[in-house]
Amino acid sequence: VEKIIEDEISSPSVFKEKHKLYPEYTPSSLPHREKQLKQLAQLFKSFFSSPGEEMQRVMLVGSFGTGKTVTSKLFGASASSLASRNGIRLKYVHVNCYKSRTLPQIIYNISLDLGITLPQRGLSAQELMRGLIEELERRNTYAIVALDEFDYFALMSSGLNSIYVLVRAYDEYVNKKKRLHFIFISRSISTLENIDPSSSTYFLKNIVEFSPYTYSELYDILKERADEALYPGVISDDELKYISMIEGYDKGGSGSARTALEILVRAGESADSEKRSSITLDDIRKAHVIVKPELAMLQDQVSALDRHELVLYLSVIKALKGSGSGFVRIGDVEKIYRVLCEAYNLQPRRHTQVYTHILELRSMGFIQTKSSGKGFRGKSTLIGISAAPLYVLESKVEELLKRE
């Protein structure tokens, strides 16, 4: 047993520093988030020129994996060190509302992070807030508090009243310096619809939007992170582009850097488990299924295809396998299709019909298509499969064809 474990542990890995691909890791640079960082700096500009004059309330909005959390954290870290160089004591606190679900819990955790001890029991949220504000005053300290996954908090009925306590914390201290500033982080602006208008106006003025990442943006992000986390030569540019294609918002993906990075991690693990020193396209396909379990269902749905569709699907699989690249031309698929039709005793359909079937397979999620762009042979449709490793699909489809 010890030998088995020892062999596994000491076997080489494609990862140089795997943790650098994890969501918890904060990278030192954020490609394609310069605009958002600038907007944040703009919104906190008056804090640096006259700290305490105004209470800042900013909202970051964007879908899953668009870099809201990491941008807020990096902004907070830079703002603190910049303030300290200017002789201002500023601390950044990050609270996850998924974990701290009530206002007293939230205020308690903010204090904890600031090294302030408030009584844990017996005080109302308002009293806790006063305690926090007075202690900040005593310590001559400012704080930027990020409330992450704010939706969870705002969507709870108990949250509605609580938000008021947060955003209007300084209403009763007209002459005091405003030492608490908030960054609210939310998936969607519709969260605000539940909040009463007198509070939501504070947010609406200062919204920083995080759009889903496009194909080329994801590529830049993946490239930088892969360079840090993997050994040289483990993954090629084409493979990084393939992952970017799967997730890129402009290519029909969700535009999430988190999912793209997770696919990269799983693909690396797949290579490691087979003791290979580099990542293949099939590793990526396999990783894609692990990250999106709904794709496993798709593999089962293959059995619902009719014989003709199965043969066409098999042609795509074989064309991709033969080419070794992520996408093949429809013309190359058709060549194999005609051969396979003969083998399976079917009358091959014409090009326009084949094209219609391809579009059907696409709408069912079995394949992806993209335009080749203008090349020397003119424009053409390119076809790819990312729903499963090709060898898995191939044996499945061949087995189904044998059955009938």
Choose the one of Mg ion, ligand ADP, none that binds residue 98, judging by a C-beta under 5 to 8 angstroms depending on kind.
none
Positions 240 through 259 that interact with ligand ADP (CB under 6 A):
257-258
> Contact at 8 Å (CB) between 256 and 288?
no
> Contact at 8 Å (CB) between 143 and 179?
yes
Cβ of residue 66: shortest distance to Mg ion, in angstroms? 9
Question: Which one of 15, 40, 47, 68 is in contact with ligand ADP (CB under 6 A)?
Answer: 68
Other CB atoms closer than 10 Å to residue 2's CB: what's the count?
6
Cβ of residue 380: shortest distance to ligand ADP, in angstroms? 33
Choose the one of ligand ADP, Mg ion, none that binds residue 64, judging by a C-beta under 5 to 8 angstroms depending on kind.
ligand ADP
Backbone CA torsion sign across 102, 133, 150, 112: negative
Cβ of residue 142: shortest distance to ligand ADP, in angstroms? 24
What x/- string results for residues 168 through 207 when contact with ligand ADP is judged by CB under 6 A?
A: ----------------------------------------
Cβ of residue 213: shortest distance to ligand ADP, in angstroms? 7
| Residue 270 is a binding residue for Mg ion (CB under 5 A) | no
Residue 143's DSSP bridge partners are 91, 180
Cβ of residue 261: shortest distance to ligand ADP, in angstroms? 5
SS3 13: coil
| Contact partners, residue 240, CB within 8 Å, separation at least 6 | 219, 222, 223, 226
Residue type at 112 in one-letter notation: L
Nearer to ligand ADP, 97 or 261 (CB): 261
| Residue 200 is a binding residue for Mg ion (CB under 5 A) | no
Question: Which one of 14, 15, 62, 334 is in contact with ligand ADP (CB under 6 A)?
Answer: 62
* Binding piece for Mg ion, criterion CB under 5 A, among 63-71, 97-105, 163-171, 246-254: 63-71
Cα distances (angstroms) measured from residue 84 to each of 4, 49, 110, 142, 149: 52, 14, 20, 11, 28
Q: What are the tokens at 309?
A: 């569709």
Q: How far apart are CA 388 and CA 51, in angstroms?
A: 55
Q: How far apart are CA 245 and CA 309, in angstroms?
A: 25
* Binding piece for ligand ADP, criterion CB under 6 A, among 5-13, 66-74, 157-165, 239-247: 66-74
Nearest to 267 by CA among 389, 384, 366: 389
Nearer to ligand ADP, 33 or 266 (CB): 33
Nearer to ligand ADP, 180 or 257 (CB): 257
Binding site for ligand ADP (CB under 6 A): 23, 27, 30-33, 62, 64-70, 221, 257-258, 261
